[in-house]
Amino acid sequence: QLQASGGGLVQSGRSLRLSCAAFGSIFSIHTMGWYRQVPGKQRELVAGITDGSVTQYADSVKGRFTISRDNAKNTVYLQMTSLKPEDAAVYYCRADIRDRVTMTVNGYWGQGTLVTVSS
């Protein structure tokens, strides 16, 4: 249901943009978000955006990361700037999707995309 892309190796201070497209039986998409996880730690919320485009960010990324969505493409983006080594993680997208057949809302995770930041 969710396909993430855009991860890679980047130098500290540089930028990277992640994308996550939803596909399948979609009536509407509610909240979309990006999480990240490093080995040995819990997955943490990086940024979220509602269907009304209200955004929230983890304190550690405020002012550096920007989340946005394109509803026509069922896609959420995470623009990451001024990357730091501590931003390195596997990034996962998540979306709450209302199925167009059953009209129920379920949460889905993308497969994860690895971001590596070299110092």
Task: Specify the pLDDT at position 78.
Answer: 98
- Are the C-beta atoms of 74 and 108 separated by less than 8 Å? no
Task: Specify the pLDDT at position 82.
Answer: 98
Task: Specify the pLDDT at position 107.
Answer: 97
* Tens digit of each residue's pLDDT (9 = 90 or more) over 47-103: 999 999 999 999 999 999 999 999 999 999 999 999 999 999 999 999 999 999 999
Helix, strand or coil, per DSSP, at residue 85? helix
Helix, strand or coil, per DSSP, at residue 86? helix
pLDDT above 90 covers a percentage of the chain that reads: 98
* Tens digit of each residue's pLDDT (9 = 90 or more) over 51-61: 999 999 999 99
| Per-residue confidence band for 36, with pLDDT thresholds at 50, 70 and 90 | very high
How far is Cα 82 from Cα 76, in angstroms, rounded to an integer? Answer: 20
Read out DSSP for 59-75?
Answer: TTTTTTEEEEEETTTTE
